[in-house]
Amino acid sequence: MSQIAMPVEQPQCLANNQLEYAAIRAQMQDGDILLFGGSSAFSRLIRWASKSDYSHAGIVAWWGERLMVLEAKGPGVVASPISDNLCHYPGNIDYFRLKPEHTLDLPARKKMLDFALLQLGKKYNFWQLVPFFFKLVFKKLHKHRGWEDHDIASAYFCSEYVSAIYTKAGRDLDILYPNHFTSPQAIGQSKLLEKVGRLR
């Protein structure tokens, strides 16, 4: 299911830092991140609460010859083709990856992907998302003090899932907050990541 890690190349960008998916696809690796800026009412609400361009997050994974995004959304933790998202998602999709100085070797990426795949089928964490939303609005997120990030959850919301996968690989995307208080905005602002561009 994993693709062998290849040397990272700099993709050719179109206008406004846009990336042609067909051209960049072969360079994408297990564990890379997609951040979504949705235009639905729910997505706009999340973006408003977090003061961010992003409302959703997912993990890139090779599935044989298919390139998938692993994500936690309404039906639960699922896998869907990135190409389908590009065709049907109502909004923008930005591609992020670890900076060269923070990159993971192939065994570490495999461990990350194995953990991500074990979570498929788990429920969406609506119960955590509601208080998280209000804590975002009122700026009362709890910091890392006393929280344990490494427990395997029974349910996830999108950015919690992505954060948990990276924590398992030894890369804490949001050093201020535990996984279940990590937002798509915090992932996009992580000092470990670089934005490659916007897929189209």
How far is the C-alpha of 167 from the C-alpha of 94, rounded, in Å?
21
Confirm whether 148 is domain-assigned.
yes
Confirm whether 3 is domain-assigned.
no
Number of domains comprising the chain: 1
**Could you list the residue range(s) of the whole structural domain that residue 146 is in?**
15-199
Is the alpha carbon torsion for 75, 193, 51, 14 positive or negative? negative
Q: pLDDT category, 177, cuts 50, 70, 90?
A: confident
pTM of the model: 0.83
* Overall average pLDDT of the 119-129 stretch: 88
CATH number assigned to the domain comprising residue 169:
3.90.1720.10
Confirm whether 121 is domain-assigned.
yes
How far is the C-alpha of 77 from the C-alpha of 156, rounded, in Å?
7
> pLDDT per residue over 89-114, tens digit each?
988 999 999 999 999 999 999 999 99
pLDDT for 144: 46
Confirm whether 2 is domain-assigned.
no
Count the Cβ atoms, other than its own, within 10 Å of residue 134: 11
